[in-house]
Amino acid sequence: MARNILLLLVATCLAACSGLQQSVSNQAILDFATPPNTLYPARLVAVDGEPTNAPLSKTSFWVDPGIREIEVTAAITDQTQVGLKPERSRGPDQGRTTIEVEAGKRYRIAAQVIDKTGGWEPVIWKIEDGGAK
């Protein structure tokens, strides 16, 4: 009896995992893992106006393909890049951008400094095939 229950649990887990893989291939991944040295870390705050409410340790987010509005924050602490008193906000669109994502792609996103007063913008620094990596 216990063996049958164990087999049922294993079969259920395998079926769930295969369904998950199929749904992931129909999505894109927004990846905020460590960027190259020329860029700064960014963190996803919202997708299409919906807050992510994710723990700080989460760096990858699955999204449906199409046009997505993302809002990110940046972790720029280098005073040589943003001056001694960086502007904390440059208006309501700071860190907000619209991107078009394709299923099966991974979009690596970071923050790029654009001026010495604290201005920055989100950038896609790499697009990879096989979003489920």
Q: What's the chain's average pLDDT?
A: 79
Domain count for the chain = 1
Going by C-alpha positions, the residue among 97, 111, 94, 126 that lies closest to residue 29 is 126
- Cα–Cα distance for residue pair 124/119, rounded to 1 Å: 17
Q: Which residues contact 45 (CB under 8 A, 6 or more apart)?
A: 51, 52, 71, 72, 73, 95
Domain enclosing residue 103, as ranges: 2-129
What is the rounded average pLDDT of the residues 45-67?
95
The span from the CA of 101 to the CA of 106, in Å, is 9
The whole-model pTM stands at: 0.73
The segment with the largest mean pLDDT, out of 31-45, 89-103, 114-128, is: 31-45
Identify the band that residue 119 occupies on the pLDDT scale cut at 50, 70 and 90: confident
Q: Report pLDDT for 128.
A: 96
β-sheet bridge partners, residue 132:
none
pLDDT in tens, 7-31: 444 444 444 443 444 455 799 999 9
Q: Give the C-alpha distances (Å, rounded to integers) separating 61 from 70, 82, 87, 107.
A: 11, 28, 28, 10
Rounded Cα gap, residues 81 and 86, in angstroms? 9
